Chain A
Amino acid sequence: MNMLAWTVYTSFAGVLALMLLPSARARDARKLALVIAVIGLFIGFAGAFQYAAARGTSPVKPENVVQTVAQQSWVPGLGINYFLAADGISIVLVLLTGLAAVVGILFSWNIDRRPKEFFAFYLALIGGVYGVFLSFDLFLLFVFYELAIIPKYFLIAIWGSTNREYGAMKLALYSFIGSAMVLVGIVAAYVVSGAKTMNLIELSHYPFPAGFQSWAFPLVFIGFAILAGLWPFHTWAPTGHVAAPTAASMLLAGVVMKLGAYGALRVAMTLFPLGLQAWSSTIALLAGIGIVYGAMVALVQKDFKFVIGYSSVSHMGFVLLGLMTLNSIGLSGAVLQMFSHGIIAGLLFGVVGRMVYDRTHTRDLPELQGMNLSRAIPFAAGTFAVAAFASMGLPGFSGFAAEMQVLIGAWYAFPTFTILAGLGILIGVTYTLRVLQLSFFSDAEPNSEAAAHALPPITVPERFGAAILIAATVIIGLFPGVLLNLIGPSFASPLFEQLRKVGAF
């Protein structure tokens, strides 16, 4: 039995502990939350090592890829089990969640409004996300998925900024519509298969009729992909990211968008490969449009955070494009891109939301131009520069290894969209360079009023948080093999047997 299940339990135990914390000691909430998140991260690492040791290497036996983490009968009458398991893809995303959770808390160290509740919602969200990445029972997966939506709403609605009610409600509505579509699809699959089981592995072997798949696939896929920012269902993402408090936008971009992409891969593509085959070029087209459209919209934003918000749409387009390539290199690229974007977007939002906005109280780029930020907060400028170059996909950072594999895969499947994606990278370079110059390295005359009062220096937790994420993107950029060894063999598992038949593996 793998210890990974404890990531979920620890997070929810943390929620409970925070609720029991006496109000007088509310200031300690952040420390408690940090301890819980760090424990979760370490369990993730330990679980990853345990998993890798049990799976073995060279060659990896396909039957060892999916390892059971916890199994307990739940509603036997309906074939619902409490069934947690992990393959390489889950492990990578669990590690991402752990990193994002720790850094998010470090970047929320200055929350003083109802900190207990804030961190309780935060840990509940983390617990739900861990749960989704580990569930191999459809019903359980859906439960965790819903569990993650609710804290998200409150985090934005209570602690958010610009247009927070609007952003929170839009996000919640989009999420619920998506989940409703997913639920219909899951129930239909349960009924059609007649297998009286919600076990994903068992269902994945069931040959659903092609006619059924042709509508069930888009229903479930798009239901999930709404959260992954699939164009044209992405509009929740920029407003939600902008409205959310820093830690929540880090989690939204870093982890929640991955929930969507993960669900699309794990459920929709695994169960309905024939439907996938019929729809793949349409969805690849949407992904390609998303890459270019997100980048072009980011190019003209005046609000610093909107730039990053739209860039997330663009970068998630690479994930979806990679998924649609249906070959192992494109798919592993897509999963690596999930990890990479989680890290890089987290870093970008951390700089914008915490380091800049909490100090300057503005995200208006023309206004920031006059503040000479590279001198006022040089650490933030350096961090943002690193994050910007990582986000452009320069080699040496994780984004390159990921996007490169997606593009190799795409050359095979959709040569035309590859060139579209190349264009997207170039526009990405342009908007990133633009925002880098406007925000930190502007040559504009210093605005005397803003220059008059000095900004508070960057605090130690912020430095730690930024260092963790920079280290992650550089290490994975230079040694992507660390994660690719986990991801690659996963596609050989019996779970993807049907999927392998429609793709080129």
Chain B
Amino acid sequence: MNGFPIISVLTFTPLVGAALLLGMDPDRKRLAGLLALGFSVLALFWAALLWLNFDSAAPGLQFIEQHDWVPAIGAEYKVGMDGLSLVMVLLTAIVVPIALLAASGIQDKTNIFLALVLMLQTGLFGTFTAQNFFHWFLFWELSLIPAFFLIKLWGGPNRGPAATQFFIYTMVGSVAMLLSFLAIYWATGSFDFARLSELGRNGEISSALYAKFGWYGLSKEKLALLIFAGVFLGFAVKVPVIPFHTWLPAAYSEAPTSVTMLLTGLMSKMGVYGLLRVLLPIFPVQIQFVLTPLLWLAVGTIVLSACAAFAQRDLKRIFAYSSINHLGYCLLGVFALAKLTGDEAPWNVEKSAALNGVILQMFNHGLTAPILFCFIGFLEQRSGGLRGLDDFGGLRKVAPVFCGLMGIALFASLGLPGLNGFVGEFLIFKGAFPLATWATALSVLGLLVTAIFLLTVLQRVFSGPVNNHWLRLPDLTIRERLIVLPAIALMFVIGICPQLVIGKINTTVMQVVAQLKF
């Protein structure tokens, strides 16, 4: 883009908005809302500009900015985008304004709330575009602070423990990951993701680690595996992978709705993004080494979370587990990629399908899950905080528009063909089946249970006898309809024309797959 640092501008646009919001008069709530929305729309504008200027045919990173930062510790300011980053940035830019609009119920310290949301957006943009560990980790960690306060200060009755649990779980993963990367830095002298991927493919990272550490006589493989485990833990908590998920239901259900939208739509993507950007390129050998346990984790995540969702009675918790379930398919796709190595060219078609599916699934889930939580938020506002599965009934008679639109989102989440969710999951299953047959076959069980519990929600909340309590439940207002309609439209667009997204990521996917030789 002719030397215009567009990624930096994009990243720091929300931060400027946050600074203005913090400095303003707290009583001017309306102005605060407009200001926050204005900055997030500006960010959406930059993201759209990036989307339009992105060259789908060019391999490698685009819009690169690279400056020295702290040479003494290998830190560079390096940002750039490939198809994966592009999709995630666009998703972030789309979801944040929707979440801001859905946050109109926040009346207490509104300006601080909005400022924290914008800070979180900066953290996400930074995470999705940074290409140097030091730089990336800064944003990865800093996004935790706004998320913590958003849960802690504006959450439900148990917000304190939920926020603490969320923060500390994530920090356990982050510290493990940090220690691993510091060891890698000590061994290789680099924090650059591209350079580390190269070294990882060649097996030079494990050799360098082995040369530098003589730790309790660990063998080369075991040492590299230990370092891998640290990095994996960092992402596993974030995604989350079962059994590292226990922070999630509490955090999602206690957070205010608009924050849950950000948590499920965007922050969970940080984990999957990290798997694709960091774990898979840098540790392909180690992933392959422990592939069977990893696939079991993926299957466990898919099936157990679906079953757990089925057992829940609180709508927010149902969708919290459902969110884990949907990200489980991403895990399955990512791990299946590492199944075969070398020049098995015929398999590259399957691998590309799986990886395309994973990225598409990230985008789709990032769109659908927040909208579902948005609907639950609307419902909660009307019911005075009630959101149990059995608290409602027959709503489709009382609030047909609400039920119709939420129904679309539910079916998108379920994976109905014609809506966005189907394409991603189909591609993952198509690609993963030949690569990891048993795991994919078992995962189908997850699809089945998902269908059951989503239909149960549909049945208990929308149909059945009308609960006399809610005879006067107001339907969606015009404003609320306008908030969700663009996203619903996008679900159809991607469902019918997935090429819009796949066209942007395909070159990146081919490149990643071609590089998976070790």
Contact = CB atoms under 8 A, between A and B. Distances in A.
Interface of A: 329, 332, 385, 389, 392, 394-396, 401, 404-405, 407-408, 411-412, 415-416, 418-419, 422, 425-426, 429-430, 433-434, 437, 441-443, 479-481, 484-485, 488
B489 interface: no
A441 B149 CA distance: 10
A434 B164 CA distance: 8
B141 A426 contact: no
A333 B167 CA distance: 26
B448 interface: no
With a 10 A CB-CB cut-off, give which of B134, B141, B142, B167 has the most chain A CB atoms.
B141
16 contacts: A329-B186, A332-B72, A394-B142, A394-B145, A396-B141, A405-B73, A411-B182, A422-B176, A422-B178, A426-B172, A426-B175, A429-B168, A433-B168, A442-B160, A481-B72, A484-B73
B171 A395 contact: no
Interface in B145-183: 145, 149, 152-153, 159-160, 164, 167-168, 171-172, 175-176, 178-179, 182-183
Contacts of B182: 404, 407-408, 411, 418
B73 A422 contact: no
Contacts of A385: 149
B142 A443 contact: no
A422 B141 CA distance: 16
Would you list the 3 A-B pairs with minimal beta carbon distance, nearest first? Answer: A395-B138, A484-B72, A481-B70
A377 B243 CA distance: 41
Nearest to B223: A415
B69 interface: yes
B138 A396 contact: yes
Given A407-B182, A411-B186, A422-B176, A480 B70 contact: yes
A484 B70 CA distance: 9
B176 to A, nearest CB: 7
Contact of B186 (A408, A433, A434): A408
Interface residues of B, number: 33
Contact of B167 (A411, A433, A485, A488): A433
A434 B186 CA distance: 33
Given A407-B179, A408-B186, A396 B142 contact: yes
B179 A395 contact: no
A418 B213 CA distance: 13
B137 interface: yes
A412 B149 CA distance: 37
A415 B186 CA distance: 12
Q: What's the dominant secondary structure at chain B's contact region?
A: helix
Contact of A443 (B70, B71, B160): B160
Nearest to B167: A433
B426 interface: no
A412 B70 contact: no
A480 B70 CA distance: 7
B481 interface: no
A132 B142 CA distance: 37
B313 interface: no
B212 interface: yes
Given A395-B141, A411-B186, A329 B160 contact: no
Contacts of B72: 329, 332, 480-481, 484-485, 488
A177 to B, nearest CB: 36
A433 B183 CA distance: 27
B433 interface: no
A395 B142 contact: yes
A437 B215 contact: no
Given A418-B183, A425-B175, 5 more contacts: A392-B171, A394-B142, A404-B182, A411-B183, A481-B69
A329 B212 contact: no
A488 to B, nearest CB: 6
B470 interface: no
Contact of B73 (A392, A426, A480): A480
Contacts of A416: 215
Interface string B178-193: 1100110110000000
Interface string B196-226: 0000000000000000110100000000000
A174 B213 CA distance: 39
A472 to B, nearest CB: 17
Contacts, number: 87
B180 to A, nearest CB: 10
Contacts of A425: 175
A332 B71 CA distance: 14
A418 B137 contact: no
Contacts of B71: 481
A83 B73 CA distance: 34
A79 B167 CA distance: 58
Contacts of A418: 179, 182-183
Nearest to A434: B164
A401 B142 contact: no
Nearest to B134: A395
Nearest to B218: A415
Contacts of A392: 171
Contacts of A422: 175-176, 178-179
Contacts of A395: 134, 137-138, 141-142
Given A396-B142, A411-B213, A429-B168, A401 B179 contact: no
Contact of A329 (B73, B145, B183): B73
A464 to B, nearest CB: 17
Contact of A441 (B153, B176, B185): B153
Nearest to B170: A429
Contacts of A415: 213, 215
Nearest to A424: B175
A318 to B, nearest CB: 13
A441 B153 CA distance: 8
A384 B230 CA distance: 31
Contacts of A405: 73
A412 B164 contact: no
With a 10 A CB-CB cut-off, give which of B134, B159, B171 has the most chain A CB atoms.
B171
Contact of A429 (B137, B159, B171, B179): B171
Contacts of A442: 160
A234 B169 CA distance: 30
B141 A394 contact: yes
B164 A437 contact: yes
A389 B144 CA distance: 10
A443 B159 contact: yes
Interface in B394-442: none
B164 A433 contact: yes
B234 to A, nearest CB: 12
Interface string B40-72: 000000000000000000000000000001111
Contacts of A484: 70, 72-73
A412 B159 CA distance: 41
Nearest to A477: B138
A404 B178 CA distance: 8
Nearest to A485: B72
Contacts of A411: 179, 182-183, 186, 213
Interface string B451-491: 00000000000000000000000000000000000000000
Nearest to B172: A426
A399 B490 CA distance: 44
A426 B153 CA distance: 23
A407 B134 CA distance: 14
Contacts of A430: 168
A481 B171 CA distance: 26
A426 B171 contact: yes
Contacts of A441: 152-153, 160
Nearest to B159: A443
Nearest to B214: A415
Interface in B129-147: 134, 137-138, 141-142, 144-145
Nearest to B230: A422
B400 to A, nearest CB: 39
A406 B105 CA distance: 46
Contacts of A433: 164, 167-168
Contacts of B137: 395
